[in-house]
Amino acid sequence: MADITARLADLKARIDELAGLAAAEHRERASRLAQALTGDLEGLLEASPPAPRPAGPPPRAPRDEVERCPVCSLRSYHYQRGTIRESEYGGHEALYRCGSCAHEGWKEIA
């Protein structure tokens, strides 16, 4: 990721330089710089994405399928079977629904 960041910073500096060359007397140099920038951007777009994490099986259902609801505080917050998904921060989460107040929410599971 640091390599991409450095390359993008270099492209930004070169684009700023190109903006400064917009006068009529520098048209040829601006055209060459624009072509070079286009090639670099295409190279970045074609760069291979980071290797995906190995997809392991999702974790088993939570041990306690009923918990205290964060809204009504009654012990009626039920795990909904078949709703385990990968969390955007890593790990897994499952959908819970309260049988009392109908609150729904995703909860991190271990």
- DSSP string computed for 3-33: HHHHHHHHHHHHHHHHHHT-SGGGHHHHHHH
Report pTM: 0.50
Per-residue confidence band for 40, with pLDDT thresholds at 50, 70 and 90:
confident
pLDDT, mean of residues 39-49: 73
pLDDT at 6: 74
- Place 18 in a pLDDT band, splitting at 50, 70 and 90: confident
How many secondary structure helices (H) and strands (E) does the chain include? Answer: 2, 5
* Per-residue model confidence (pLDDT) at position 51: 58
In the block, tokens 């990968």 appear at 86
CA distances 87 to 19, 34, 103, 110, Å, are 42, 41, 20, 11
